[in-house]
Amino acid sequence: MRRALAILAGIVTLALLWEGYKAVGDPEGTVLFGVRVLPRADDLSMPHLWTVLQRLGRPELAGGDPVWQVVLRACLFTLGITAAGFLAGTLVGLLLAMAMQRFRIVERGLLPYVILSQTVPLVALAPLVAGWGGTLMPAWATVAVIAAYLAFFPVAVGMLRGLQSPSASGAELMRSYAAGWWRTLVKLRFPAALPYLFPALRLAGAAAVVGAVVGEISTGTRGGIGRLIIEYSREATSDPAKVYTAMLGAALLGLVVAGAVSLLEVPLMRHRRHVEVVTL
């Protein structure tokens, strides 16, 4: 109940900030020494919230489906891609973390490249992956690859830290029970890593959404919310509220993915301590 109220309060605050700035802000934006430090507050740049909500109910094009249906369909399409990318990325991340935990030399050899992988600009990578579409895999799968590429990183790094988190005495105890690497992993390292895994999964979920949206745009895949944002933003001058409906959709997508990860976490994390979120 308190959580629901807190969420509601958050939404109301955001709405007040938006409308408040619109009321007091300069319609031409505030320009200091030739730099626009605050955005334009006119209806073209910042439509009223109720205009955006109304736009959701009206047809996309004359005689077409209402915008909310189109946005929702696009969200579902992108959700599918995000889920595929998230699962693939998580699997790769887990395998990498296990390999790095098992072999010191793999950790030393691989970890710098794992970190390096995230500094490669996605836009540079996308055309290469897009080339696989239609031949190696269907077009949507190339977007999932890009989502996975972003999602595997927090899982690999967080899980490695989690697998390495048991104390030396825990490992010695398992050795005293004549447990090998695999059974030590299953009985000790994996359960011990869960408090590190879940924050990593939440980051991976967010990264997968970003990857899917950006991936759709840069590979030119149709049908998803990323593509919709691009299409609607072209109409921004004539129909400024439309692009915001697509952005609402993207935000909703992020919330759904974050919620799904949290649902996974609740039953597994009772009686457990929580550790701070680790990214590096």
Partner 1 sequence: MSAVVIDNVVKIFNQGRGDEVLALSDVDLTVGDGEFVSLIGPSGCGKSTLLRLIADLIPATTGTVTVAGKPAGQARREQAYGLAFQQAGLFEWRTVRKNVELPLELRGIGRAERRTRAEQMLALVGLADFAGHYPGQLSGGMQQRVAIARALAVQPPLLLMDEPFGALDEMTREHLQSELLSICATTGTSTVFVTHSISEAVFLSDRVVVMSARPGRITASIAVDLPSRDDAGRQSPAFFEKITEVSQALRGVPVP
> CB-wise, 26 or 172, nearer to partner 1?
172
The H or E element that residue 138 is part of is: none
The H or E element that residue 36 is part of is: strand 35-38
> CB-wise, 199 or 249, nearer to partner 1?
199
- Which residues, 6+ apart, have CB-to-CB distance to 158 below 8 Å? 97, 196, 197, 199, 200, 203, 278, 279
Stretch that binds partner 1, among 18-26, 149-157, 212-220, 267-275 (CB under 8 A): 267-275
104 counts as binding partner 1 under rule CB under 8 A: no
**How far is it, in rounded angstroms, from Cα 165 to Cα 100?**
13
Binding track over 142-171 against partner 1, x by CB under 8 A: -------------------------x-xx-
Tokens of 191: 């359960």
172 counts as binding partner 1 under rule CB under 8 A: yes
26 counts as binding partner 1 under rule CB under 8 A: no
> CB-wise, 103 or 177, nearer to partner 1?
177
Neighbours of 280 (CB within 10 A): 9
Query: Which of 72, 125, 139, 179 lies at the binding interface for partner 1 (CB under 8 A)?
Result: 179
Q: Coil, strand or helix: which one is 137? A: strand
> CB-wise, 108 or 272, nearer to partner 1?
272
Q: Are 246 and 74 in contact (CB under 8 A)?
A: yes
Footprint of partner 1 on this chain (CB under 8 A)?
A: 167, 169-170, 172-173, 175-179, 183, 187-188, 191-192, 194, 271-273
